[in-house]
Amino acid sequence: MDKLIEILKDLHDDVDFESTEGLIDDGILDSLDIVTLITEIDSEFGVVIPPEEIVPENFNSAQAIMALINRIDED
């Protein structure tokens, strides 16, 4: 989780990702951030996120992103 928070902090230093929900709904992350995240998750976690998993629900909070990474990693 710390690794993920660090990646997110690099994108938006001013956001408290531990507690913030609505990263997508409130427009905190933009389309560039999504591409960056997906690239970083690939290189840091070795997890490739398939396009059908790139949906708002999976990116709305750090918890949701972490759950997504774990879920794909287990498959």
Partner 1 sequence: MQTNILQYLEHTAEQKPDKVAFSDGSDDRTFGEVLSSSMSVGSFLCRLGIYGKPIVIMMKKHPDEISAFLGCVYSGNFYVPLDTEMPPKRMELIIASVSPAAVICDTASEKVARSLGIDNANVYLYSDICETPIDKTALDCVRLKQIDTDPIYIVFTSGSTGVPKGVVACHRSVIDYTESLCEALSFDENNVFANQTPLYFDAPLKEIMPTLKYGATTYLVPKKMFMFPTLMLDYLDKYHINTVCWVVSALTQISALGAIDNRSPKYLKTVAFGSEVFPIKQFNIWRRALPNADFYNLYGPTEATGMSCWYKVDREFDEGDVIPVGRPFRNTDIILLCERDDGEGNVKAERAKVGEVGEICMRGTCVTLGYYGNAEKTASAFVQNPLNTVYPETIYKTGDLGRFNERGELIFVSRKDSQIKHMGHRIELGEIEAAASSCPKISRACCVYDADTKRIVIFFSGDADKRELFAYLKDSLPRYMLPSETVKLDTLPLTPNGKLDRRLMGEMAVKLESK
Q: Using the CB atoms, write b or e for 24-48: b if 16+ within 10 Å.
A: beeebbeeebbebbbebbeeebebe
Compute the least distance from the CB of residue 72 to partner 1, in Å.
14
Decide: is 19 part of the binding site for partner 1 (CB under 8 A).
Answer: no
Taking the C-alpha atoms of residue 34 and residue 21, their distance in angstroms, rounded to an integer, is 16
Three-state secondary-structure class, residue 15: coil
Compute the least distance from the CB of residue 10 to partner 1, in Å.
9
Among 20, 36, 47, 64, which residue sits at the site for partner 1 (rule: CB under 8 A)? 36
Decide: is 5 part of the binding site for partner 1 (CB under 8 A).
Answer: no
Residues of this chain that interact with partner 1 (CB under 8 A) are: 24, 27, 29-32, 34-36, 38-40, 50-52, 54-56
